[in-house]
């Protein structure tokens, strides 16, 4: 299990983001992502076609980080927890050309990237071709395209997650559509790679983690999956975003001088393995230990049985 996360706390100009964060802390979340939503990253001209000109580039706001005082996080510290703040950028994907704009540094500076596809073709592109972390939907409105299993499976394979925003379920006008869309997403993903987040516009829009896990049951997730939707899946999404920033694989290569003090033992272990002959017990275990420092997403390795002899 991972810490409870809310990966969609909307940053809005006229509403205090800090209040929303404090509410999230109070309710038990430990990882939050502050979401900057920009509807269109390209400028439209009069004819409605998107174009990009250096003088008319849409200015993307910088990632937001809220400063929290000791007093704000005091309760959290007493409970032995800490708050991790991430930045997230969301845009509506209405044109294939937008992806080129999204690859620029100002958008890539964000920790998490999310898109909201508007057509089936763009949904297919988001699932299979582009390097994003989250596919989100305008879940309070009728979905104008079908979610096909093939691109969804490909997205799951690539580590892309599908988001359900529960604050859309508050309003009676959008509630029916919210549930219908959420059920469609569940049906096509079988509950895999689904994250549930608040999309909070105000502090009172945030709900506690166990409440959200129960909502998962309402929309068709199984019991273990519903808790995963706010913890383990969010963690996997964040790890996927990290790989986007490091190198294009699950292995990163660093110089030994860059290693932290507590990881320096891996250098010694590798040196020991190189100098001793194979077949020695301790060098085998040292080699295993050395290996374990280089994985980000390696499955559990078999450990040698430690007999107390």
Residues that bind other proteins (CB under 8 A): 1-4, 27, 30, 78-81, 166-167, 169-172, 175, 179, 183, 186-187, 190, 202, 204-205, 207-208, 210-212, 214-215, 217-220, 223-224, 227-228, 231-232, 262, 265, 289, 292, 298, 300-301, 303, 305-309
Tally of CB atoms within 10 A around 161: 27
Cβ closest to other proteins, residue 248 vs residue 304: 304
Cβ closest to other proteins, residue 101 vs residue 207: 207
Cβ closest to other proteins, residue 48 vs residue 80: 80
Q: Residue 40 CB, nearest distance to other proteins (Å)?
A: 29
Query: In 43-92, which ranges are continuous DSSP H helix?
Result: 70-78
Q: Which of 207, 126, 129, 132 is nearest to 165 (CA)?
A: 207
What the block records as the tokens of 61 is: 């706001």
d(CA 228, CA 2): 8
Q: Residue 206 CB, nearest distance to other proteins (Å)?
A: 8
d(CA 190, CA 199): 23
Q: Residue 11 CB, nearest distance to other proteins (Å)?
A: 19
Q: Residue 278 CB, nearest distance to other proteins (Å)?
A: 20
- Kindly state the helix (H) or strand (E) to which residue 35 belongs, with its residue range: strand 31-38
Q: Residue 130 CB, nearest distance to other proteins (Å)?
A: 28
Tally of CB atoms within 10 A around 75: 12
Cβ closest to other proteins, residue 29 vs residue 123: 29
Cβ closest to other proteins, residue 28 vs residue 97: 28
Q: Which of 80, 89, 86 is nearest to 66 (CA)?
A: 86
């Amino acid at each position: 299990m991972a810490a409870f996360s809310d990966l969609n706390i909307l940053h809005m100009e006229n509403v205090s983001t800090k209040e929303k964060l404090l509410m999230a802390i109070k309710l038990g979340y430990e990882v939050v992502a502050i979401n900057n939503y920009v509807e269109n990253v390209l400028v439209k001209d009069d004819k409605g076609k998107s174009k990009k000109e250096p003088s008319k580039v849409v200015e993307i706001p910088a990632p937001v980080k809220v400063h929290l005082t000791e007093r704000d996080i005091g309760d959290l510290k007493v409970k032995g927890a800490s708050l991790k703040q991430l930045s997230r950028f969301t845009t509506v994907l209405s044109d294939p050309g937008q992806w080129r704009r999204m690859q620029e540094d100002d958008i890539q500076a964000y920790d998490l990237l999310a898109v909201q596809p508007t057509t089936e073709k763009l949904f297919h592109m988001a699932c299979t071709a582009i390097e994003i972390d989250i596919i989100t939907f305008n879940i309070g409105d009728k979905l104008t395209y079908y979610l096909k299993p093939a691109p969804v499976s490909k997205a799951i394979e690539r580590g892309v997650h599908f988001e359900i925003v529960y604050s859309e379920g508050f309003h009676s006008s959008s509630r029916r559509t919210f549930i219908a869309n959420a059920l469609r997403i569940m049906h096509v993903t079988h509950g895999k790679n689904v994250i549930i987040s608040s999309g909070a516009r105000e502090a009172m829009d945030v709900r506690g983690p166990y409440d959200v896990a129960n909502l998962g049951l309402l929309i068709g997730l199984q019991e273990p999956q519903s808790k995963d939707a706010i913890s383990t899946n969010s963690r996997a999404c964040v790890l996927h975003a990290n790989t986007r920033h490091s190198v294009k694989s699950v292995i990163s290569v660093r110089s030994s001088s860059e290693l932290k003090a507590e990881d320096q033992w891996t250098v010694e272990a590798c040196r020991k393995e190189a100098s001793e002959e194979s077949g020695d017990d301790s060098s085998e275990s040292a080699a295993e230990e050395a290996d374990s420092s280089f994985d980000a997403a390696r499955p559990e390795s078999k450990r040698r049985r430690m007999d107390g002899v």
